[in-house]
Amino acid sequence: MLLTPGPTPVPEFIRKAMSELTIHHRTKEFEIIFKNTRKLLLEILNMPEAIVLASTGTGAMEACVTNLTHKKALIINSGKFGQRFTKICESFNIAHTEIKNEWHTAVKVENVTEIIKQDKDIDAIYIQICESAGGLKHPYEQIAQEVKKLNKNIMIIADGITAIGVEKINSANLDAIITGSQKALMLPPGLSMIGLSNEAVQKINQKSSGYYLNLASELKKQKTNTTAYTAATTLIIGLEKILEHMKNIGFESIYKKTKLRASATRKALSSIGFDIYPKVPANAMTTVYTEHSNEIRKILKNKYNVSIAGGQDHLKGLILRINHMGLVEDFEASWIVNAIELTLDELKIRTFDGQANKIFSSIMFKGEI
């Protein structure tokens, strides 16, 4: 059972759809698929424009940095993925400054507005909606709103790789939303997508940047339902199918279920003694703090057949991250809290009494809090 916060398991009907013979990308047949995928993508992203790239999420992050920063970037860094925006700026010699916090601490809105007021060079802000390094939620909505009041020309770029497909995004004041294939969209890795505002499109076209990750040339092609270079046809076929499926279930109902699953998991694990790691948890995953992370994950994998994630860098061996993204089955979500409780018993940390699953089930299935 794969319950890591990305990659997530690829559903069988997607694997089957992607096993059909490859079609040529410059055909009417593929254009129709691309057109429908684009339409669905604009809907889930809730943005006026969208671009699909044959790259992992980091490629879309890089494309946003190089295409949307003309002067100086402000980066919100509360973890590995925030830090990645800084590293991208460094590698391109793009002027930047960052607000750095510990991985469990969200950025403060006032911190952002203060810097914007002082540093008039900043023309783009980069933020994660959910910083996956610690499962932390940033107040992206308030930041976007306050920044636009001060200067509507500052671009707000949200990395929503662990937020699109998880929760309803308020895109009203956002200029770019990034997502990727292998998280809540349950596809194999290799595709990234960027939703764009009309203002972002204008800025991209003002000063064209880069070659492969040139968003101006890519957008020009994609508006005509084709791609600038060979399309990742197989993955795009998968993307069309998963978006259709999610729409049929209802995006809202997926968001509601994910939120309930996240809340039931957090309460179940708190009830058996775990501390929730992020001060503001996102619904994409549950992150708990524990010095027994490595031992717990080892037993979970070997004895109970579940794979969950640990921490990276200074959080190595100190946290557990359990995925809630995608179409996680109820029995999987309930099994993981039970398996963790059994593991604590095995490690002689806490005697098993079924508490975690009891709390999980009463919230998930009986609507109790």
Ligand X SMILES: *Cc1c(COP(=O)(O)O)cnc(C)c1O
Minimum distance of ligand X from residue 196's CB (angstroms): 18
Minimum distance of ligand X from residue 367's CB (angstroms): 30
Task: Kindly tell me which of 48 and 189 has the beta carbon lying closer to ligand X.
Answer: 189
Angstrom distance (rounded) from CA 162 to CA 228: 27
Minimum distance of ligand X from residue 28's CB (angstroms): 31
Backbone torsions φ then ψ of 208, nearest 5 degrees: -70, 140
Minimum distance of ligand X from residue 232's CB (angstroms): 14
Beta partners for 323?
285
CB 313 within 8 A of CB 272: no
Residue closest to 278 by CA, chosen among 292, 263, 289: 289
Task: Kindly tell me which of 18 and 160 has the beta carbon lying closer to ligand X.
Answer: 160
Backbone torsions φ then ψ of 5, nearest 5 degrees: -75, 65
* Buried b or exposed e, range 62-82, using 16+ CB within 10 angstroms: bbbbbbbbeebbbbbbbbbbb
Task: Kindly tell me which of 52 and 342 has the beta carbon lying closer to ligand X.
Answer: 52
Backbone torsions φ then ψ of 13, nearest 5 degrees: -65, -25
CB 362 within 8 A of CB 268: no
Task: Kindly tell me which of 71 and 168 has the beta carbon lying closer to ligand X.
Answer: 168
> In the complex, which residue's CB is closest to ligand X?
57
Minimum distance of ligand X from residue 95's CB (angstroms): 22
Task: Kindly tell me which of 112 and 187 has the beta carbon lying closer to ligand X.
Answer: 187
Contacts with ligand X by CB under 6 A lie at 6, 56-58, 81, 128, 132, 159, 161-162, 180, 183
Task: Kindly tell me which of 164 and 364 has the beta carbon lying closer to ligand X.
Answer: 164
Backbone torsions φ then ψ of 135, nearest 5 degrees: 70, 35
SS3 34: helix
Minimum distance of ligand X from residue 56's CB (angstroms): 3
